[in-house]
Amino acid sequence: MSAENQDVLLEVEEEEEEEEDGEVVLEEVEQTIVPSYGTAPDQQKLHTSEWAEFDQKPDSLFFNDGQRRIDFVLVYEDESKNENRKKSVNKKQKRKRQAYESNLISNGLQLEATRSVLDEKLIFVKVHAPWEVLCTYAEVMHIKLPLKPNDLRTRDSAFNWFSRLFRVDENIIKPEQEFFTAPFEKARLSDFYIQDKDIFFNPATRSRIVHFILSRVEYAVRDNVKKFGINKLLDSGIYKAAFPLHDSRFNRRSEDSNCPNERYLLYKEWAHPRSIYKLQPLDLVRKYYGEKIGIYFAWLGFYTQMLIVAAVVGLACFLYGYITKDNCTWSQEVCDPTIGGNIIMCPQCDRECTYWNLTITCESSKKLCIFDSFGTLVFAVFMGIWVTLFLEFWKRRQAELEYEWDTVEFLEQEEHIRPEYEARCIHVVTNEITQQEEHVPYTACGKCVRMTFCISAVFFWILLIVASVIGIIVYRLSVFLVFSAKLPRHINGTEAIQKYLTPQAATSVTASIISFIIIMILNIIYEKVAIMITDFELPRTQTDYENSLTMKMFLFQFVNYYSSCFYIAFFKGKFVGFPGDPVYWLGKYRNEECDPGGCLLELTTQLTIIMGGKAIWNNIQEVLLPWVKNLIGRCCSAARSEKTIPRWEQDYHLQPVGKLGLFYEYLEMVIQFGFVTLFVASFPLAPLLALVNNLLEIRVDAWKITTQFRRMVPQKAQDIGAWQPIMQGIAILAVVTNAMIIAFTSDMIPRLVYYWSFSVPPYGYHSSYTMKGYINNTLSVFDISDFKNESKPIPLPWFGNQTTCRYRDFRYPPGHQYQYEHNIYYWHVIAAKLSFIIVMEHVIYCVKFIVSYVIPDVSQKTKSKIKREKYLTQTLLHENHLKVMKKNMGKIADRIWQGADGTFRPKFD
């Protein structure tokens, strides 16, 4: 960049109207030359782009001269051909754009404009960064670049032969050469490993540097506040798009022999369905899309690999329960006509419900034996340890990637403020650190008002979710009355459907389906509401914006997805009273009761429907919507498809990448992580479902960003950000929830108490430990004459002369001194449940602590590489220059000595 370059800014004099997106529209704009870098006003001029016709090379990635590479593309609509806006608006936008492009050129970028082939209104401005600009900004951005090839020997793993079966063929995608790197410095250019200037900066790095410049170049000034950045120009509609180019089409190789065809290789070896069993080419993903995309797919792939172990153990526990279900004594008693067939259960609602036979729950009790078994306890303990191993091993893997991808000492640059924030900077305050005046969008009082409003809005929407859960509960209570009146209440052995279509099962399934529908609807609505709230909150930087939105969205999703599961697991059937004195919900609806076997099977049903339905819906949405949008776009331009379309125009017609990038992908996976860990004690097949979903998710996400979306701007990322502590919080909570599910939702503790204490004397009458008599012992007796008039049912003919019915609780029978009060069995069970929770939590937390302590966050191999790189950096960048300095100092000393020798030497005639 020459010293004569300077910025051209537009002086904004009057502000008249505001667009829908909140950006200020200026009706009267006067061009004023504002000097910068000390240049005089009369030296300035308006720089313009070079104009060039399309050279009929559809795969070209270069300007028309074939030498300068296209690093970025800007798209705008020709203001002279836009008849939908006022001429004054078109003129204003044109002058802003011209000022912006002039300043881009002043900053050293080279621009070439070409009119669209398919639409005469569109103009594509191709941006190229010369070598000097790349070097200058690489130093400013502290980009780490190669010093010398990595000379550390790597030892192959013992399982290398096995993993080779799943790797991408190295002849197709060649492994990236490893280098020792250091932050780039122009003054030490000779120390860096530069074999070819054209490839020293790879395309992703070039695009990142250009985007850095585009985001910081100014184009206007109003009230001494400068307007800058491509994002604001995009939001105001001055530019329609800005993106780096894909290097080729995804389904065929480029005609350019020099093109690396990385997009084509990624599609064939990564995004294609036939590659579902292969390991991901993460180095190529990182090289093409940048570290932020690469770290997401590395995390998702690592999470999926760890799920294999959890899925195998969960499947083994499920098979154990399935094989041993025929040996389930208490289920046999439920299905036995002489035991369960003679047990008449009390009504579970008032009036409309009547007595029912225990054998109607025979099939559900058999299913419950599969999930409510000893294997479930083992699996819950295993998952508590697994989640710790996953998080600790991921830290190690992340440390390796940080080194390999040069983000170990990644210095996050001071972020530029968001255009939305900058546009509202109307208040002047004094910075406490610099003691200089700066503009802010609101005062301290205004900030408090905004925060109060935002917090209130978030809690309002969370309460709305709670209200929807209450609505589902009311639905359960209301519909159970209907199903109880319509569906059969005893089994006659002739109608097979009666074994499955019970009032409890019908209510549970329909409520789960409706709950899932409501969850998805609220999810769609709240996504928009959360963005509106965060926009109103007006965070200063994009990182602040994403963190704020992340907390709102995760808090909402947590309540939205998990609230119904928490209700079934920890509240349903826990506060029901007994038939003579039931507890009512909202003073009207009688609280729900669980089946005689507990609510565990219903929780399993809820998890299956929500988790499975969510996975199917998300994959359809991610695949179908972008594909349909692109299909419509291709159909609209089908009439002109015979024309040769350049690479930049092909990419323009792909779907734009959202501002939040991979936010929704992370959110989806973290919510799934919660399902896999929080409630896994009730559904050991959850890791298997997650594994299958993730195998598809990796390829779907890869297919989506490779084929349906424009190329993302490469960004640096050291880790997965705020999602790591969120997962750590879920892991801690999962230990508590699974312990409480086993203790309070399943019947494992009551069965163990009966087996070890109440099946033998003094409380039992069996001579040895057994589960026989468990059902009769855990169902309390109620005298039907003790029913209140408002809840007394109408007996059916088959009821006969029965005077008692049974209900699920541990209470003394009628006629006892403490009738209908909790018996000794109840207090034994409560003590055992509390003891189990304390012991299980402490054991798992102790193991988690030991595992976290034993497994270092950074492996010894990675530490050695980091030390070697620091040593080389010190040697090459410091000691070499010290030698040069000594050498130069020696030459200077010799010259001084020679000069002194010549000056003071005596003269002889």
Per residue, the 3-state secondary structure of 27-47, as one string, reads: CEEEEECCCCCCCCHHHCCCC
Give the list of residues 6+ apart from residue 67 with CB closer than 8 angstroms, or none. Answer: none
Mean pLDDT of 213-220: 86
pLDDT at 29: 34
Average pLDDT over residues 5-23: 47
When mean pLDDT is compared over 190-194, 258-262, 697-701, the highest value belongs to: 697-701
Question: In Å, how far are 44, 140, 187, 565 from 135, measured between CA atoms?
Answer: 25, 9, 10, 56
pLDDT, tens digit (0-9, with 9 covering 90-100), for 113-138: 999 988 888 999 999 999 999 999 99
**Cα–Cα distance for residue pair 895/115, rounded to 1 Å:** 62
**What is the band of 877 on the pLDDT scale with cuts at 50, 70, 90?**
low
**CA atoms lying within 13 Å on the CB side of residue 767:** 0
Q: What percent of the chain has pLDDT over 70?
A: 81
3 state SS of 62: strand
Amino acid in position 567: Y
If you average pLDDT over residues 324-338, what whole number do you get?
A: 89
Strand pairing partners for 221?
A: 11, 226
Mean pLDDT of the 296-311 span: 95
pLDDT at 36: 35
Q: Which alpha helices (DSSP H) does 443-541 contain, by range?
A: 444-486, 503-537
Does the pLDDT value for residue 595 go beyond 80? Answer: no
What is the predicted pLDDT for the residue at 361? 85
Summarize pLDDT for 494-548 with one digit per residue, the tens: 344 445 556 666 777 788 788 878 887 887 888 888 888 888 888 877 777 878 8
At a CB cut-off of 8 Å and minimum separation 6, what does 325 contact? 331, 366, 369, 370, 373
Average pLDDT, the chain: 81
pLDDT digits (tens, 9 = 90+) for 38-90: 333 333 567 888 898 888 888 888 998 888 999 999 999 987 777 667 777 78
- pLDDT higher than threshold 60 for residue 413: no
Q: What is the pLDDT of residue 706?
A: 92
Helix (H), strand (E) at residue 73: strand 72-77
3-class SS of residue 550: helix
Check residue 300 and give its pLDDT: 95
pLDDT number for residue 850: 92
HEC string of 94-110 equals HHHHHHHHHHHHHCCCE
Nearest to 293 by CA among 176, 457, 405: 405
CB atoms within 10 A of CB 515: 26
Calculate mean pLDDT across residues 161-184.
78
DSSP state of 791: T
Buried b (16+ CB within 10 A) or exposed e, 274-302: ebeebebbbbbbbbbbbbbbbbbbbbbbb
